Amino acid sequence: MHWINFPLLTIMIWSGLRIYWADTRDPYGFGIGLIGWHWFDFLPDAVNETLGLDRKLARGMAFHFTFGWFFALNGIAYGIYLWRTGLWRRLAPGRKALGDALIVVAHDLYLGRLIKRPLPEQGQYNAAQRITYALVLLMGLVALLTGFAIYKPTGLGLLTTLFGGYEVARTIHFFVTIGFIAFFVIHVLQVARSGWRNFYSMVTGFEKVDDPTTALPAEVGAVPDASVDLATYGGRTRRSVLTGVVAAAGAAFGWRWVQNRPLSNRIPDVLRQGHEFNEALWRPLSANRTAPTFARSASSMMRVNGRIGLESPIRLEGWQMTVLGPDGSELGTHTLDDIRALPKVEFTAEHKCVEGWSHIVTWGGARFSDLAALYADELSSGASSERPSDFVSLETPDGEYYVGIDIESMLNPQMLLAYELQGEPLTEEHGAPLRLATPNKYGIKCLKRIGTVQFTNDQPTDYWFERGYDWYAQL
Ligand code: HEM
């Protein structure tokens, strides 16, 4: 199982870095409060280009959220395996481990003579290795938990809160990745230093000897399992290496297989199915939940991130929103005054972008559910007696930007037809006169400048879905 951990970890790091690269404007607060300027790029473009990791965010997310499950399941299986076989004892650092580890590190750095302490006796793994391996296992768990905390900050709100909120969880998630990369690099350097024998015992758990019948467990002087005949160790080391080769070949083959699958809206079809699996799983958990809200004082003006659908000149004074029924017939039109006449709602919440950044903002507007209620009679023959239709499709007046949203999410009390941001009327670039705002979906669903709203029973298409993103995009 630990052979499978590595390819999965590599996929998670690789896809995670694609997400990270989508927005390197936020350097995790490095420099903030010092000079208030982005002075540190953890992975500058030069590294990105050298490794051939382009900025395909949608593909990165699709890989991340599909393979996240394999990573989770394999991690759980590995934990059970370590526990059941008692192998965790070989990895768990003892009480003296920290002191011993410092001595080992000093010897590794050729400072042994200086500290005048001999290398402590070691089992299969020395104290520094035990601490590192235990840390890596812990990091895997933290990556998993913070991953889910930022994947579903509304659906799994409690987990996100336990980590100190979305931004803290996201920062921990990223630093764990840096930890994994550091582990890989140091490991490779150590292997280069210690040679093939050490690498062999490190990955197989057995010392490499020339005569297999005399092979000893690498834990010199302490046979971990007395029932195992020593003569079989030679065979086991070979089997273990063979398993590794098969696992690596399988991973490479699987990787190519996924990459070469037919595309479904710009991502391999199996990854699209991964998105659909996640949607089916999370929908019952998250569509009706409300996202955490904050004090108004925590909010500030949000940056503008994209102008699709806002380019065509329109006369804002004459703006009207058209509402269509499932058969395409016009049910009504609304001016901004009509929307303002509906009960006003204001809340402060975190707006989250697929690029990885978030911002706490205060929205003001009318609940979409109050607009839908105006059409209750016309739509009463809809999908069921409790809801007007299965989906809602919204479009900008020029038709350039369009989103499709499930009706449960549209009727969520935090789904706003927003006309105010930070207590001020929306500016043109933020989607004046009326936009969609919800903290429960990624910002790609918060259509600016609504032109048409259609209730429909067929799942509508969506601008970013067509470009490889998750149709549901629920948080
Ligand atoms: C060892 C495993 C993992 C590694 C190394 C990893 C790494 C990363 C990295 C580097 C990022 C980009 C950080 C940023 O730009 O802020 C990221 C983002 C993310 N990861 Fe992971 N991750 C792992 C596992 C998971 C798991 C199991 C999940 C759960 C589904 C998950 C969910 C997420 C989410 C939701 C994002 C942010 C996406 C966005 O905001 O656009 N990760 N991950």
pLDDT values of the chain reduced to their tens digit, one per residue, 475 residues: 566 678 899 999 989 988 887 765 554 544 333 444 555 566 666 766 776 666 689 999 999 999 999 999 999 999 999 999 988 887 777 777 677 767 767 777 777 667 777 776 666 667 777 788 888 999 999 999 999 999 999 999 999 999 999 999 998 999 999 899 998 888 778 777 766 666 665 555 555 555 544 444 444 334 444 444 444 555 656 777 787 788 888 888 988 999 999 999 999 999 999 999 999 999 988 888 999 999 999 999 999 988 899 887 766 778 999 999 999 999 999 999 999 999 999 999 999 999 888 999 999 999 999 999 999 988 887 666 678 899 999 999 999 999 999 999 999 999 999 999 999 999 999 999 999 999 999 999 999 999 999 999 999 999 999 999 999 999 9
Residue 234, pLDDT score:
55
Which helix (DSSP H) or strand (DSSP E) does residue 367 occupy?
Answer: strand 358-367
Place of tokens 């490190």: 202
C-alpha span between 111 and 103 (Å, rounded): 9
Rounded Cα–Cα distance for residues 37 and 275 (Å): 36
The response to whether residue 475 sits with its C-beta less than 6 Å from ligand 1 reads no
For the residues of 59-98, what is the DSSP string, one character each? HHHHHHHHHHHHHHHHHHHHHHHHHHHTTHHHHS--TTHH
Instruction: Answer yes or no: is the C-beta of 443 below 6 A from any ligand 1 atom.
Output: no
Planar angle of CA 260, 263, 267, nearest 5 degrees: 95
- Please give the pLDDT value at position 185: 87
Residue 344, beta-bridge partner list: 366
Nearest to 415 by CA among 461, 371, 466, 465: 371
The residue to which tokens 């007007």 are assigned: 388
Q: How far is the CA of 28 from the centre of ligand 1 (A)?
A: 14
Q: What CATH number was assigned to the domain covering residues 289-456?
A: 3.90.420.10
CA of 58 to the centre of ligand 1 (A): 13
| CA 151 – ligand 1 centroid, Å | 8
Contact between 217 and 237 (Cβ < 8 Å): no
Tokens of 210: 């020339």
Protein residue with least CA distance to atom 15, ligand 1: 20
Six token digits for residue 52 = 């051939």
Whether 72 is in the pocket of ligand 1, judged by its Cβ within 6 Å, is: yes
Lookup: tokens for 292? 């955490």
- CATH 3.90.420.10 domain locations along the chain: 289-456
Per-residue model confidence (pLDDT) at position 50: 73
Residue 220's pLDDT is 38
At residue 386, the pLDDT reads 72
106 burial (CB, 10 Å; 0-12 / 13-18 / 19+) is middle
Q: Is 152 near ligand 1, meaning CB less than 6 Å away?
A: no
Given this model, what pLDDT does residue 219 score?
A: 42
Contact 428, 316 (CB under 8 A): yes
Cis-peptide, bond into residue 262, ω within 30° of zero: no
With CA atoms as reference, report the closest residue to 72 among 138, 5, 17, 19. Answer: 5
360 alpha-carbon distance from chain centroid: 20
- Rounded to 5, what percent of the chain is helix, strand, coil? 45, 15, 40
pTM (2 d.p.): 0.85
Distance CA 143, CA 149 (A): 10
- Asked if residue 16 has its Cβ within 6 Å of ligand 1, the reply is yes
Q: Is 12 in the pocket of ligand 1 (CB under 6 A)?
A: yes
Q: Any idea how long the chain is? A: 475
Radius of gyration (C-alpha) of the chain in whole angstroms: 28
Does ligand 1 have an atom closer than 6 angstroms to the CB of 407?
no
Contacts of 180 (CB under 8 A, 6+ apart): 9, 13, 136, 139, 143
